[in-house]
């Protein structure tokens, strides 16, 4: 099929989907960011095991932790949405259902991320 491509589309290397590289690259970028963030979060949450609400709030609300937590929630759900999209594209074979389930997953991840970030901000502001 290569010979049917224009010189420009071959140079851009995007293929017929036009946006595959963007998806692939963002999945890797968020993966690299998530390696240290999830190690930090795993240990940080483990330290809150059995904690009273005030202690857990103080941990979430400290400026450094709140910042890292917001970045972690955003990166985690963005990475999750990108990953589940690939799984849906591989296993859902009906075009309409594929579109609908992808839309549902993206929306759910967006709502979750916003809710989580808002809660962290509320705790930081002492609400």
Partner 1 sequence: MTDSNRPLSPHLTIYRPQLTSLLSVLHRGTGVFVTMAAVLLVAWVAALAAGPGYYGLLMAALGHWLGQLVLLGITFSLAYHLCNGVRHLVWDTGRALELEGVYRSGYAALAASVVLTGVIWGIAYTAAGGL
Looking at residues 43 to 82 of the shown chain, list those that interact with partner 1 (rule: CB under 8 A): 43, 45-51, 53, 56-57, 60, 69, 73, 76-77, 80-81
Give the C-alpha separation, 30 to 36, whole Å.
Answer: 11
Q: Which two tokens stand for residue 42?
A: 């795993």
Nearest to 37 by CA among 82, 84, 77: 77
Nearer to partner 1, 5 or 40 (CB): 40
For residue 83, how many other CB atoms are within 10 A of its CB? 14
Report angle CA 111, 43, 64 to the nearest 5 degrees: 65
SS3 56: helix
Shortest distance in whole angstroms from residue 16 CB to partner 1: 21
Looking at residues 89 to 108 of the shown chain, list those that interact with partner 1 (rule: CB under 8 A): none
**Interface ranges with partner 1 (CB under 8 A):** 28, 31-32, 34-35, 38-39, 42-43, 45-51, 53, 56-57, 60, 69, 73, 76-77, 80-81, 83-84, 87, 109, 112, 115-116, 119-120, 122-123, 127
């Amino acid at each position: 099929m290569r010979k049917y491509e224009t010189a420009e589309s071959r140079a851009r290397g995007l293929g017929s989907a036009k946006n595959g590289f963007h998806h692939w690259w963002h999945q890797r970028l968020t993966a690299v960011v998530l390696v240290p963030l999830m190690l930090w979060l795993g240990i940080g949450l483990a330290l809150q095991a059995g904690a009273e609400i005030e202690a857990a709030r103080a941990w979430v609300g400290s400026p450094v932790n709140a910042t890292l937590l917001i970045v972690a929630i955003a990166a985690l759900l963005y990475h999750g949405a990108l990953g589940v999209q690939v799984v849906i594209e591989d296993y859902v074979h009906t075009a309409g259902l594929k579109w609908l389930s992808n839309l549902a997953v993206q929306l759910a991840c967006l709502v979750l991320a916003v809710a989580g970030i808002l809660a962290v901000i509320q705790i930081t502001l002492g609400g």
